[in-house]
Amino acid sequence: MRQISLLLLLASLVLVVTGEGAYWEVKLTSDTSRRYILSAQIATGQAAQNCNFALTTSTPYLTVAGVGCSTCDGVNSYDQKDSTTYQSLGNSSGISLIGNASTSGPLIKETCTLHAENGSSWDYTDQTMIMSNQSASVYGGQISGLFGLASGRATGNLSVSVVGGVFNRDPTTQSVTYGLVLQPPNGDHSADAGTFHWLGTDTDAYTGEITWKDTTASSNSDLSTFEIEGWQFKAGAATVTNTSQNLNSAADPYYVNMFFPSRDAQLIHAAVPGSSPALANDGQSTVYTIPCDSQFVLSTIIGAQVWQVDQTLLVDKQSDGTCVSNIQGWTDTSNDQYLFGSAFLSSLYLVITIANPNSGQNDQIGFARRRVSHSIVAPVVGGVVGGVAGIVIISLGIFFWVRRRDQKKLEGIQGSGGQGGNVGEFEENKYAQPSPFTAHTPSLPPTSPGALSYTSNLQPRVTSGFIEGIPQTPYFNDPHSPPSYDPTYPPGPSGPSQQQQPNLFPGHTRKN
């Protein structure tokens, strides 16, 4: 019997065995839209087909462009007529993402096999997929599918997810864990955009302890949320601080930008001289043009740690020479959610653990400091062996000078001895990107309410949460209100679960 084989071989899949168990190591590439890709092969006997899946945590579904899809931009497509294991489920489903991206089509099932370079394989049957017969802004370029990493449990769709396939294969499995090491999104087609650790984590990829947060998901969305404890934005003498506790947040590497509540984004960019707002083309967010030489630091409190990124990750240079901020604001002023994209996630090691529904455990998301690459050590050792003492001395000097400089930079920004996450220390993005906005100017920032505060050198410093950049034990006296929900939902059932669901994050709708 021929099988449709999900072969993450083109992505240099390797089964790695460590003292803590095994995990699959998958090398990621990226496309010009700055999406992270699992290069895969859909093989049906002799008719093997290549497929590039974009990673997303916003859906539990795998999707693939069907051969009959006229709006999938001519990408490599799947033809069910070539497969003897194809099964039709008799109904359809679809997903929508931020940016008016959507895809839908009939639900199918196939038998999948995940292969490693050493010849071993991970097999499971009856993988549910959406065979897209229509799409908008999902496929194109190198992307011919979506690789959904959400569990789908809360929406009744665990059975359709890859995670559910693990539990189906071995019901005694207590949890499914995966980790992500992402290179900064640069808008180029990169052959080395990071690493995906499937069914485990790589302890060599991070240093220190993982900061864990419980995640929650309800029947409102497939995207799991967690709570952060606050954030601070510093640009010169200006400081914007939000010390509200329990700020509802989510993380998805499918997106580059961070999406903040409208008022937050307005106050943040009011602290950047020369910034100017404009409405994004999709109408769901506001983007800000900023001077290309802007310097600032965003510090986010997650658990007991502070995770920082600066302008090297938060400034995008456009094809016309202007620059935009990777912090955007929702146009819906009632939306108080935070969504962290790859501009933030590429500064740390991200771990997600999804518990077996029968285990009684919580799903979690973890954040850890990225370990500094030691690739420079190899030529140094080679120099020692070869007796090239001069090269060794120079290499070691450069190594320790760079490390000392980076450490001082980190300490200077944090004001403490290396707490929290990484500072984005990457080159400015000079790759041309299509302009994401049209000319439209929202109103200027209103007066800051509650725990959201704006200060400058002419005003008293807000010390709740931070003192001179050093994280404190926050005094939270303004609990955050429950998240708002978007009632505008398309009617009809939602795939196999047959549930009609409101939406937690605008843009993450389910179309049926």
Q: Could you report the per-residue pLDDT of 42-89, keeping only the tens digit for each?
A: 645 565 667 889 999 999 999 999 998 999 988 888 888 887 778 899
Position 14 scores a pLDDT of: 52
The CA distance from 410 to 402, in Å, is: 12
The more confidently predicted of residues 289 and 508 is: 289
Percent of the chain with pLDDT over 70: 65
At position 487, the amino acid (one-letter code) is P
- pLDDT mean over 219-244: 92
Position 25 scores a pLDDT of: 82
Both tokens of 473, joined, read 């034990």
Nearest by Cα to 249 from 345, 184, 356, 331 = 345
The CA distance from 501 to 172, in Å, is: 30
- Give the DSSP H or E segment for 147: strand 145-148
Position 491 scores a pLDDT of: 29
Position 510 scores a pLDDT of: 40
Give the SS3 label for residue 504: coil
Please say if the pLDDT value at position 313 is more than 70: yes
Please say if the pLDDT value at position 466 is more than 50: no
Both tokens of 495, joined, read 């795939």
Position 407 scores a pLDDT of: 46
At position 511, the amino acid (one-letter code) is K
The CA distance from 413 to 233, in Å, is: 11
Q: Could you report the per-residue pLDDT of 246-264, keeping only the tens digit for each?
A: 899 999 999 999 999 999 9
- pLDDT mean over 299-320: 93
Residues contacting 47, CB < 8 A, separation 6+: 79, 82
Position 39 scores a pLDDT of: 77
pLDDT tier at 218 (50, 70, 90 boundaries)?
A: confident
pTM, two decimals, is: 0.75
Q: Could you report the per-residue pLDDT of 345-359, keeping only the tens digit for each?
A: 999 999 999 999 888
1-5, 174-178, 448-452 — most confident range: 174-178
Position 122 scores a pLDDT of: 62
Per 3-state DSSP, what percentage of the chain is helix, strand, and coil (rounded to 5)?
Answer: 15, 40, 45
Q: Could you report the per-residue pLDDT of 117-154, keeping only the tens digit for each?
A: 455 556 667 888 899 999 999 998 889 999 999 999 88
The number of beta carbons lying within 10 Å of the beta carbon of residue 371 is 15
Largest CA-CA distance found in the chain, in angstroms, rounded: 75
Please say if the pLDDT value at position 314 is more than 80: yes
Position 191 scores a pLDDT of: 86
Q: How far is CA 290 from the centre of its chain?
A: 24
The more confidently predicted of residues 317 and 444 is: 317
Nearest by Cα to 168 from 111, 84, 213, 242 = 111
Q: Could you report the per-residue pLDDT of 404-440, keeping only the tens digit for each?
A: 544 443 344 333 333 344 333 333 332 222 223 222 3
pLDDT tier at 243 (50, 70, 90 boundaries)?
A: confident
Please say if the pLDDT value at position 210 is more than 90: yes
Q: Could you please report the per-residue DSSP string of 425-444?
A: ----B-S-----EES---PP
Position 473 scores a pLDDT of: 33
Using the CB atoms, write b or e for 164-186: b if 16+ within 10 Å. bbbbeeeeebebbbbbbbbbbbb
Q: Could you report the per-residue pLDDT of 88-124, keeping only the tens digit for each?
A: 999 999 999 988 899 999 999 877 665 554 555 566 6
The CA distance from 427 to 163, in Å, is: 36
| Residue listed under structure tokens 């790589």 | 202
The CA distance from 469 to 237, in Å, is: 12
Handedness of CA 204, 210, 215, 221 (dihedral sign): negative
Nearest by Cα to 113 from 87, 151, 85 = 85
Number of helices and strands in the chain (H, E): 6, 34
Which range is least confidently modeled, 65-74, 269-278, 321-330? Answer: 65-74
pLDDT tier at 389 (50, 70, 90 boundaries)?
A: very low
The more confidently predicted of residues 489 and 245 is: 245
CB 247 within 8 A of CB 228: yes
Nearest by Cα to 454 from 238, 300, 236, 266 = 238
Nearest by Cα to 162 from 112, 226, 102 = 112
Residues contacting 1, CB < 8 A, separation 6+: 84, 85
